[in-house]
Structure 1
Amino acid sequence: MTIAGILFDKDGTLLDYHATWMPLNRQAALAAAGGDPALAERLLAAGGYDAANDCIVPDSVLISGSNDDLGACWAEILDADSAELTDRLSALFEAGSAATAVAVAGLAETLTALAARGLVLGVATNDSEEGAYNSLGPFGVLDHFPFVAGYDSGHGAKPGPGMVQGFCQAMDLMPEAVAVVGDSRHDMEMGRNAGAGLLVGVLTGSAAHDDLAPHAHHVLDSIVELEALLGGLAAPPKSS
């Protein structure tokens, strides 16, 4: 079946994860730690921050988890109420994401070209839905996305299939006609769990080629290569 729709992950796919989120992660950790720098560093490490290499471990809570997941992770260390901490984190992220958001190279041009091909585009993120709108808003690309879902939009979180299923229902698409594009194993598993026709990993997040290759049909340097990939496919490749 020809690909008719593309469901994009947001952070690490449409936005540069480290540039966008490390300032927010540090702010959130320090706030959760009550201003204690050592405790804040402990929280970041628990979430998957590798201080020695100044990077986030692939598939860690900070990369792949929802705000609920991060709140639960940090609440255990702080002996705090998980739901209350999650609400605080969500508010901080939603308020700050527009200011720190950094787009991947070629974002607007790529989305314009894909839309011009008649493809239906959507966003599926483990960030909140409001956070998705706030962080993508500065780049003038939201008009390309008739479907935007966060972990709190009622479809469940990744790697569950719900966001793909919601996209298909809203846009009247079959799963086999949908390409899922993301920078993490959770994105690929979401697509596979939903029966998506094409799974495309991108290397603009924390994962390396070898992290994504076992789970994706194709691994690209970035979304800029998507148009050429889709133009060169007679049909989506079958899973191994």
Structure 2
Amino acid sequence: MTAGTKTENTPDIRGILFDKDGTLLDYDASWEPVNRQLALLAARGDAPLARSLLLACGMDPDTGVVVADSLLAAGNSRQIAQGLVDAGATYDVADLTIELDRIFADAADCSVPVTDLAQLFAQLKQKGLKLGIASSDNERSIRAIVQRFGLTDHVDFIAGYDSGHGCKPEPGMVHGFCAATGLSAQQVAVVGDNNHDLHMGRNAGAGLAIAVLTGTGSRETLTANSDFCLNNITELDTVLN
């Protein structure tokens, strides 16, 4: 389907599980400097190696563009750390994972939202919807974003890769959201900017898998696995009953 085409067959959605980066946050504006920082750290200050590490993990070091569904687009800290080590970083994977989690948590202070998140979440809650955030980032980073943008009273569920629900595209985060809210998977819309999010929704039996174009994915990479492909989360009203 495409944006703005809800039909009488659209499921009765009672909850929305959002991805964070590229969905609630503008990916390029929020993450380009962070990706450069983590590559330079992993390279121990070696600039040519840092360029190689960025390329290996999915980012063009000249343009800053990140390849859809690459490690930097969709991986969690452990997966990115492993990719960096495989590409030549002289770190222990476990130690580098700790460093990446620290960098990602600190990045909340410079993240750029795609819209006024507090206003949008308040409007969605007024409609009676349950709201959650499920990210491949660590839980500490998600909670920092929730606090910074005034979402604490609106969010019913938070899951990072380290929260015990498994990792995307596994279905565990959706199941955790359902357990926390009393909803069935068919009553949940999963919203994200890459195929890991959409596959998670499909694997869990979510009622809708909704793609947005504020991250690393494109209409071409996302349409096949989504029920709707929106420009951004402000268009959710066009597809939800």
Partner of 2:3: none
Partner of 2:41: 31
Could you tell me which amino acid in structure 2 is paired with residue 208 of structure 1? S
SS in 2 for 1:49: coil
Partner of 2:191: 181
Partner of 1:61: 71
SS in 2 for 1:142: coil
Alignment partner of 1:16 out of 26, 40, 52: 26
Aligned mates of 2:198, 2:77 — CA distance in 1: 20
Aligned mates of 1:120, 1:176 — CA distance in 2: 13
Contact kept in structure 1, 2:165 and 2:172, CA below 8 Å: yes
Could you tell me which amino acid in structure 2 is paired with residue 42 of structure 1? S
Aligned residue pairs, count = 230
Contact kept in structure 1, 2:171 and 2:201, CA below 8 Å: yes
Partner of 2:8: none
Alignment partner of 1:215 out of 225, 228, 235: 225
Partner of 1:122: 132
- Return the TM-score normalized by structure 2: 0.92
List runs of 5+ in structure 2 lacking aligned partners: 1-10
Task: Give the Å deviation of 1:51.
Answer: 3.2
Task: Give the Å deviation of 1:52.
Answer: 4.6
Larger CA deviation: 21-30 vs 45-54: 45-54
SS in 2 for 1:168: helix
Aligned mates of 1:160, 1:26 — CA distance in 2: 28
Partner of 1:170: 180
Alignment partner of 1:42 out of 52, 77, 80: 52
Task: Give the Å deviation of 1:177.
Answer: 0.4
Structure 1 residues 112-149: Cα deviation after superposition (integer angstroms, max 9, x where no partner): 21111000000000000001111332211232112000
List runs of 5+ in structure 1 lacking aligned partners: 232-240
Aligned mates of 1:142, 1:212 — CA distance in 2: 30
Residue 212 of structure 2 corresponds to residue 202 of structure 1: yes
Residue 143 of structure 2 corresponds to residue 150 of structure 1: no
Aligned mates of 1:102, 1:72 — CA distance in 2: 27
* Alpha-carbon distance change, 53 to 23 in structure 1, aligned in 2, over 3 angstroms: closer
Aligned mates of 1:185, 1:42 — CA distance in 2: 25
- Larger RCO, structure (CA 8 Å, separation 6 or more): 2
- Return the TM-score normalized by structure 1: 0.92
Residue 25 of structure 2 corresponds to residue 2 of structure 1: no
